Structure 1
Amino acid sequence: MAEHPYVGMWVTKDGQIRHELLPNNRYDEARGERESAYQGRYQVTGNYIEYWDDTGFTADGEFIDGVLYHGGMVLYRNKE
């Protein structure tokens, strides 16, 4: 299966939320000083993303013009 173009690190403008989409369809989200605050699996279909957190909650989001809109957050691809 080919890697989708959204794999990588996504961050809020203030850098407090760091959301890494891993190539194995897992994600790891850090919040502030708390590394790995949330982890789980995800699936990308076109520009739509669905999340299933390891603790049981679900979420979704959408990629629009290179920006990830997820759970009321706006995340940008980390260029570093």
Structure 2
Amino acid sequence: MKKIVPDPPISYFSVISDLSREEALTQVSKLMDCMNRTLEAYLGTEPIGVDSYLLENVEILNQLMRALIAHAVAKEAAP
């Protein structure tokens, strides 16, 4: 029987290679604040169709943060 394995997550975003680790983490912090406000708006709205739009925004913010965090980790590991 063939084991079903999900595809690994694909990052649709890339980060400018000369962005410093500190700048990347600063942007992650800003995106986390934005995600927090978006989730607060999602939890405070009536389900009239806007809720799915807000969740899509959260997913995009998540992908952006993942790319920036991976970049920061790579910068930290580099000599």
Sort the TM-score into its range (normalised by shorter chain). under 0.3
Higher RCO, 1 or 2 (CA under 8 Å, sep at least 6)? 2
- Compare the two structures and name the one with the higher helix fraction: 2
For normalisation by structure 1, the TM-score amounts to 0.23
- Compare the two structures and name the one with the higher strand fraction: 1
Higher gyration radius (CA): 2
